[in-house]
Amino acid sequence: MRVLILGGDGYLGWPTAMDFAAAGHEVTVADNYLRRHIAEATDSEALMPAPSLSERARIFAAASGYEIAVRIGDLSDPDFMFELVKQAEPDTVIHYAEQPSAPYSMRGFREARETFQNNLDVTFNCIWAVKDIVPDAHIVKLGTMGEYGTPNIDIEEGWLEVEHKGRKDTFLFPRAAGSLYHTTKVLDTDLLWFYVRTYGLRVTDLMQGPVYGISTDEADLDARLCPNFHYDDIFGTVVNRFLVQAVAGIPLTVYGGGGQTRGYLNLRDTLQCVRLAAESPAEKGELRIFNQLTETFTVNELAERVKGAGDALGLGVEIKSIPNPRKEKEEHYYNPVFTGLIDLGLKPHYMTDEVLTEMLERIVKHREHIVPERIMPRVRWNG
C-alpha cells in the first residue's frame, strides 16, 4: 500500500512509519513538530533525545534498507494537506496528527484554543482531502478510550443498540470526556461519522488506551530510532512516569485514591493494531470502531507492579498518594469490550515483570537526564 502517516514524528507515529516500511509498504510521513515545540516551551522534553524526522529517516534507511519519505509542514493548513495528499496518493491515511496531551489542553485559554483549533482543523482537512482527491482511501484515525469516560455500564466497541418505547436503533456509544483534549477526539468521531454516512468514506476509528513501551523491532536497530519517551506530567503517561520515578528514587505519585481504572497496551501492540486495521480496511460507507487495549489496571495496581519490578532490581521503590490535580472519578465501574482487534489477529504483549524490568533497565542508562521537577503535577483542572 501507499501509506500516508499524519503526525509521523510522534511517540506512535514514528514507530508506525518504520513498521509499515519494514512490512513492504510505501510510506510518507508528515509533521510540523508541534509536540516538540510544546515540550520545549513547557520544559517537558523526552528522556532520550531524538534526531529530526528527516535524520531519523536517514538513520532508519541506513540500518534497514527501507525508505520513508518525509514532509515537514502544518497539516492544519488546507493547502499543505491537499498538496500532500495529491503527491502521496495514499491508499491508507493514518491520522495521529493532534496535540496529544490532556494536561496541556487544560493549562489555560491559549493552550485550550491551540488544542481545539489544531486537532479539529487537521481532522477536517484530512477528511476533505481524502473525499476530494482519494475518495477510496481508508482513513485510520487514532481515537482514545478517554472519549467514553467511565460510564456505569459496559463500554461497547463504539456502538450501542438502544431500545426506547418499543423501538430499537444503533447509536454511537455515549461519550463523556474528562479533558478538552479528549473532547476534541469526541468531535473527531462525530465529524468522521457525518462524512462517512454523507459521502461514503471508509474509516476505522481506534479507541486506544494509554500506551507504554520503548522497544520495537525497528527502533532496536539503532538507539537514535527510539520513540519519544516522555515522563513529565504533561506528555508522560502514568506508566512512564512511575518507571522514571522508580529509577530516580522518587515515590510513585498516585493521584488521589488510585482506583482510576483504564485499559493499557504495549507499544508493540499499537503497531499490530494499526497495521491489522490498515491491511483489512473498513468498507465504503463504514465507520468501524475498535477499542484498542489488551488489559485493564487501576493506578494502584500499576504502582504495585512497578514497585515489584523496581524492588527486584534493588531500587527500593516507594508509593505515595498525592491530591488529584484532575477532575475524575477515583472509584468507578470499568468494563470495556475489546474483541474486534483480537478477532483480526492481534497477539497481545502483556505487562509482565520482564517487560517492566526491560524498560527500567533502559531508563537506568539515561538516569542522569531525569529532571525531577518535570514529574510532579504542574497543571490542575480547576486552575
Catalytic residue among 123, 144, 216, 298: 144
Opening angle at CA 134, ends 133 and 138, nearest 5: 145
Catalytic residue among 141, 183, 185, 231: 185
Q: How far apart are CA 317 and CA 211, in angstroms?
A: 22
Q: How far apart are CA 176 and CA 193, in angstroms?
A: 17
Active site residue 123: no
Residue 26: which residues within 8 A CB-CB, separation 6 or more?
1, 2, 3
Q: How far apart are CA 72 and CA 53, in angstroms?
A: 9
Q: How far apart are CA 252 and CA 269, in angstroms?
A: 26
Q: How far apart are CA 324 and CA 26, in angstroms?
A: 45
Active site residue 144: yes
182 within 8 A of 102, measured Cβ to Cβ? yes
Q: How far apart are CA 213 and CA 294, in angstroms?
A: 14
181 within 8 A of 104, measured Cβ to Cβ? yes
Cell 478510550 locates to 145
Active site residue 231: no
Catalytic residue among 104, 181, 212, 264: 181
- Residues labelled catalytic: 144, 181, 185
